[in-house]
A and B are shown apart, each in its own frame.
Chain A
Amino acid sequence: MAQADLEGRLLRVNAGLCEITGYQPDELVGHSLFEFTHPDDRKGDAEAFSRFVQAATGTFEIEKRYLRKDGESVWGRVVINLVRDDTGRPTRTAVVIQNITAGKRAEAAQRQAVERYERQLRLFDGVASTTPDFVYVFNREGRFLYANRRLLEVWGMSLPDIIGKTCRELGYEQWHHDMHMREIAQVIGSKKPIRGEVPFRAPLTGIFGVYEYIFTPVLGPDGEVELIAGTTRDVTDRKQIEETLRDRERQQRLLALIGEFSAQPIDLAELTRTICARVAVEFEVSRCGFSLVDVRGGTVLVTDDFHGPFDSLAGAYAIDSFGDYLRAETVVGRVVAVEDTATDPRTAHLASNLELLHLRAHLTIPLHRAGEWVAALWITDHAPRRWTQGEIETLRLIAERLWSVTERRQAEETLYDREQQFSALAESVPQLIWRSDATGRIDYVNDRWCNYTGQDSASAFNQGWLAAVHPDDRAQAAESWTRAANSGELYETEYRLRRGIDRTYRWFLVRGAPLRDDAGKITRWFGTSTDIHEQRLTLAALQESQRQLRETRDELEHANTALEQKISERTARLRDSVAELEHFSYTITHDMRAPLRAMQAFGQILREEYNSRLDATGADYLRRIVEAASRMDSLITDALNYAKAVQTEMVLSPIDPGALLRGIVESYPQFHIPLASVEIEERIPAVLANPAGLTQCVSNLLGNAVKFVAPGKIPHVRISGEVLGSNVRLWFEDNGIGIPADQRERVFVMFQRLSKNYEGTGVGLALVRKVAEKMRGRVGIESAAGGGSRFWLELCRAPQAQERA
């Protein structure tokens, strides 16, 4: 800074000015400013200063060079203002000088560069215009700085028309513009060239081509990208050949992919999505989808689509919603190819809607089966694009193939649905459900299996389930399952399965049935495992109790056998005793009778031959001896009869007791009048008896009845019959002496005699009872009203038919 007078002489200077000029203050003060000005600028400068002072208004500004003390020139920006006194008259000037040497130098250099550049450009243009390629230059903002003649021809423009313009400003489509702007930015960032290929139709000339281009960075002296140079080659013809080749390769790749994927166990939706995604990549489009069409239902189903960064179009649509043009053509099987929805007259009216979907180009391949539209493969892109015949062909092939896979898969998925149903069913039942392949490898278990065993389903697969089987049952379970799987027979077994929750084992009934295909070949096995633990325990308990019961029974049988043996031993012993007794009684009666016989015989001989020599007393003694012997003989005879009755087996047959009794009565005079009167009831029912036995019984009873009668009284006996249920009771009522009530049982006991006044051995009634019992009958006594006795003999009644016979 400095102060100068109105002529330009320096009055005061500061350190800054000294530094710019390289002089000391005293070397400057008193000297004119113009002394230090570069000689080239001095004249003009002085004149301008003089005009400024005379005008006496405003500020004087100038850029000029100064000569430093060391001879260097320095650029300075000078700003001069007038300093006025109190009256407003200018008195001196205030000078501010800024050193602008650096800026001035740069400016000069740039100017030189531009000049150099323009020279080069002219040279470049000369060269560039000889090539059929497009050559052009962008600045960093993507504005054209140059285009060669070939490009200008295609554009239909001149160079001044295009300089400073962007692609968009030259009529390029927005996407095309955007794409190049991105590429330019990328080149600037990376300082590396970038290649691209683009179809382009020049807006003014309508010239179309496919162009391959390269943007190359041009670095400035600072090493930064200054310009972007581009060259573009029309590759339309080459592209045509390449495209055909590419179409074929792409076609093969895509078909191979479909073949590969369709063989894999992925579901149809995923398969379709994968193929569509690949188609989109191969065709370089933003969307691809495969729609199933139900013409009759009027719907188009887009299960899923490849949609790149955009929204999915998946959903069910009414056929009409795609617009008449689409419907009209697809319904008849025509391919619909729209290269730009905005300009295509078929879609122009829908353009804004389609733009929202980023849908500027689309290709739809309708598929017909039996004359009906069934599906469509479509691709769309967010930018207009050309659809080649090769692409259409490829897409058609893919659509065909995709449809046949779809058809097959739908059939399979119906099956799969059934499996899902099975699975749902399998999950709903209380049993553990499992499934195996044809060879017996488990490939499915239901949740209950997993919940019960604690295994996850994958661990149960193949042979894994065996881990849940009780170790003791494992070999049998594996063996029986293998056998069933090999033979194809119904599988049924029982084994214990471990419960995961407490690691205890429970019994299961395991059943499996094979599923066969139409040819009878086993395709699968389905099986259930049912918890029968409780039943099994119950059964075991039952078996145990049965076993105990059996043991008890065996013990009982054993005891019985022992008892029977004991009984038979005793019976045998008894039989022996009886035999001994019989022999004894036989011997007794037999041997006793010999001396008795001798007594009787000799008594008789004595009486016959020596009676005259005996006195009355001797004769009486002899009579007593003989009578005693005779009674003894009777006793023995009766005892023998009794013994015989005991031994004799009595065969029973129907007998008319009345007839038998009348026969007996007729045979014996002691039953006849006047000795006695016997009355026999008519029509006594027939009885089952033994003739000899019955004769013995009734003879005895009849004999007793007429015997035990008070002296002088004529015996009267009345015999009657009474039916008692299935028995017949024969009554023998007499007018005899009767039997006291307390003595009645005794009369049937052997050798019991109630009265010594009557002959008898005391064997008769005992014999009657014995014989009656042997004829399955009974005998008894009641008091008669008139003081006599009422004996009864009860026997089985004979069957009616035999009674009549």
Chain B
Amino acid sequence: MPTYPPILYVEDEENDVFLVRMACRRAAVPLPLEVVVNGQEALDYLEATAPDVLGKRRDLPCIVLLDLNLPLVHGLEVLQWIRAQERFRTLPVIVFTSSEQESDRTRACALGASDYIVKPSQMDQLVKIMESLKRTWLMHCLAAS
């Protein structure tokens, strides 16, 4: 069984994590879901993916699913940090938030978010989003190969 790179899901809301895992299963997303619960952990994880990191080295994610309203470090700051790293310049970062604020969407796009998805309240809609996510990953892999 081939080893797929993980989706790094940055989310403090347990229910959402649960629902996203279920949606991924229903959408048959093959990628493992690595979950961190705040912005700082996201940064730590990403830093730990570096080649020269000794000890507990993390797998480089193929997609980052990023909530905005996060404890410790806000999602937009995480996004800004990622885009500031040379090796993450092309890493797909999808903002996944319950905020429908136009300002949030504008700022996220300005900081280099690959997509901005408002969390749906219906399960079937969430499954569709995960299917779309799988397609994004496939397209990204094709492009990389």
Contacts and interface: CB of A to CB of B under 8 A. Distances in A.
A93 interface: no
Interface residues of A, number: 20
B100 A640 contact: yes
B19 A601 contact: yes
Given A594-B13, A594-B15, A601 B98 contact: no
A593 B121 contact: yes
Interface of B is mostly: loop
A208 interface: no
Nearest to A608: B123
B3 interface: no
Contact of B122 (A594, A595, A600, A640): A600
Interface string A579-601: 00000001000110111111011
Interface string B41-54: 00000000000000
B13 A601 contact: no
B69 A597 contact: no
Interface string B92-114: 00000011111000000000000
A601 B99 contact: no
Interface residues of B, number: 18
B16 A605 contact: no
A633 interface: yes
A695 interface: no
Interface in B80-101: 98-101
B22 interface: yes
A699 interface: no
B100 A597 contact: no
A601 B123 contact: yes
B119 interface: yes
B19 A598 contact: yes
B22 to A, nearest CB: 7
A157 B100 CA distance: 171
Interface string B119-135: 11111101000000000
A604 interface: yes
A590 B123 contact: no
Given A601-B121, A605-B123, A594 B22 contact: no
A598 B23 CA distance: 13
A598 B16 contact: yes
A590 B16 contact: no
Interface string A606-646: 00100000000000000000000110010000001000100
A604 B15 contact: no
B15 A598 contact: yes
Interface centre among B101, B121, B122 (most CB of A within 10 A): B121
Contacts of B16: 594, 597-598
Contact of A597 (B22, B121, B124): B121
Contact of A604 (B69, B98, B100, B123): B123
A186 to B, nearest CB: 144
Contacts of B122: 600-601, 604
A544 B27 CA distance: 89
A761 to B, nearest CB: 16
B57 to A, nearest CB: 33
Contacts of B126: 601
A597 B101 contact: no
Given A595-B15, A597-B16, A601-B126, A590 B69 contact: yes
A595 B120 CA distance: 12
Interface in B27-60: none
Interface centre among A595, A596, A597, A629 (most CB of B within 10 A): A597
A779 B101 CA distance: 27
Contacts of B101: 586
Nearest to A629: B121
A226 to B, nearest CB: 160
Interface string A92-129: 00000000000000000000000000000000000000
A771 to B, nearest CB: 16
Contacts of B15: 594-595, 597-598, 601-602
Contacts of B19: 597-598, 601-602
A451 to B, nearest CB: 89
Nearest to B16: A594
Nearest to B124: A604
Nearest to A643: B101
Nearest to B67: A594
A633 B124 CA distance: 17
B98 to A, nearest CB: 5
Contacts of B102: 644
B23 to A, nearest CB: 9
B99 A597 contact: no
A605 B22 contact: yes
Interface centre among A590, A605, A608 (most CB of B within 10 A): A590
A601 B15 CA distance: 9
Given A586-B99, A598-B13, A601-B19, 9 more contacts: A593-B98, A593-B121, A594-B16, A594-B98, A594-B119, A604-B122, A604-B124, A633-B121, A640-B100
18 contacts: A590-B69, A590-B99, A591-B69, A593-B119, A593-B121, A594-B13, A594-B15, A594-B119, A597-B16, A597-B121, A598-B13, A600-B121, A601-B15, A601-B122, A601-B123, A605-B22, A608-B123, A629-B121
Interface of B: 13, 15-16, 19, 22, 69, 98-102, 119-124, 126
Interface of A: 586, 590-591, 593-598, 600-602, 604-605, 608, 629-630, 633, 640, 644
Across the A-B interface, the 3 shortest Cβ-Cβ residue pairs: A598-B15, A597-B121, A604-B123
